[in-house]
Amino acid sequence: MRDVAIIGVSQTKFGELWDISFRDLISEAGLKAIEDADIEGADLEAMFVGNMSAGLFVQQEHIASLIADHTGLTPLPCARVEAACASGGLALRSGIMAVASGYHDVVISAGVEKMTDVVDPTPAIATASDQEWEAQQGVTFPSLYAMMARRHMYEYGTTREQLAMMSVVNHKNGALNPLAQFPMEITVDQVLNSSLVADPLRLLDCSPVTDGAAAVILCPAEDARKYTDTPVYVKASAQASGTIALQDRKDITTIDATVHAARTAYNMAKMEPKDIQAVEVHDCFSINGLLAIEDLGFVEKGQAGPAIEDGLTERDGRIPVNPSGGLKSRGHPLGATGIAQTAEIVWQLRGEAGKRQIDGIEIGMTHNIGGTGGTAAVHIFSN
């Protein structure tokens, strides 16, 4: 197996992008990544695109052909990768494996979602849960994560204010990200007084409905400096599966897929949680941000709330979390999120993150979740 490097990244603006089509979003991201890598489209050998539900959001399936066609990259082989909200993370993993195996040399892994073209995106998003036992009984993702939050509060004494702090820290970082959907700071009081969605979660605990795309270019590590002076190396790529439905889990305050994927990634990279200097976690709801910090091994189970209050996750804290603003502030276009997380870590490792730059960072991690934890992808990167 060959070592793999990232030589180019990009992300579109995230938000309610009414004037930009699905095909134009992915084309913009792909072309910008190609330019960032200083290569030609003809240099690419394969493309992997993460997308959760173009069929329901924009009534378009067979997007692999659409994307290759619209970007002028036919007959380049293109494959769509789907794992709900972890589609981007698995598209990245697919590209990494293609290069590591020697099957391809230069590939593009991307992600895209256009979510605002439907009146109500809830039914489409709900397909990432168990249709028979959850969605058809009226359970939505806010209510599923609300159950997880309630149980965490009961088991560990986590407070409503500590949940709110996850959103506050994200927005503090996102305010410095020009590509973020909501680049503004918020307060704990604003979170606590926002509209109730599913008790205890309120509007400002929830990631938004988002349009956007992102892309990365991968090549063998031994060739990376032919293309760039600032390659970023893939130290680990791991994936694990969990139950799709909450009722099948022993403990809904732990996402087992995250625990197993993280353990695999640390072993692969020959690292420990203390070696990670920044992490992009999948905070689709504030409670998932807390669970991620615990399940990735940065704090003991039940201690994420106090850790956030103590500043551990701030950009100058012991483990900076979501310097991009995370899903809450940067936005969450489902299929693109895992790739956008990677782009942020790459910019941090290159020293190109502007006002949100973390000093002296050499190792970063991404954590991408599908559904309520049915799929988890964890990656570790180094400069």
Catalytic positions are 85, 332
In DSSP notation, 56-69 reads HHTS---HHHHHHH
Residue (of 62, 93, 103, 96) closest to 79 by Cα position: 62
Picking from 51, 167, 91, 166, the residue whose alpha carbon sits closest to that of residue 342 is 91
Starting at the edge strand found earlier in the chain, the sheet holding 211-220 runs: 78-81, 46-50, 107-114, 211-220, 4-11, 232-241, 375-382, 363-370, 279-280
Strand 4-11, strand 232-241: pairing:
antiparallel
CA 56 – CA 244 distance, rounded (Å): 20
Tokens for 362, please give them. Answer: 């050499």
Output the six-digit token pair for 85.
Answer: 């909200």
Q: Extract the tokens encoding 282.
A: 């999948």
With 0-12 / 13-18 / 19 or more C-beta atoms within 10 angstroms meaning exposed / middle / buried, residue 138 is exposed
Classified as helix, coil or strand, 251 is coil
Residue count of the chain, please give it: 383
Residue carrying structure tokens 């694990």: 240
CB 363 within 8 A of CB 319: no
What are the beta bridge partners of residue 111? 50, 214
Pick from 132, 96, 85: nearest CA to 335: 85
Q: Are residues 201 and 286 in contact, defined by beta-carbon separation less than 8 angstroms?
A: yes
Nearest to 322 by CA among 349, 341, 296: 341
161, exposed or middle or buried, with CB in 10 Å at 0-12, 13-18, 19+?
middle
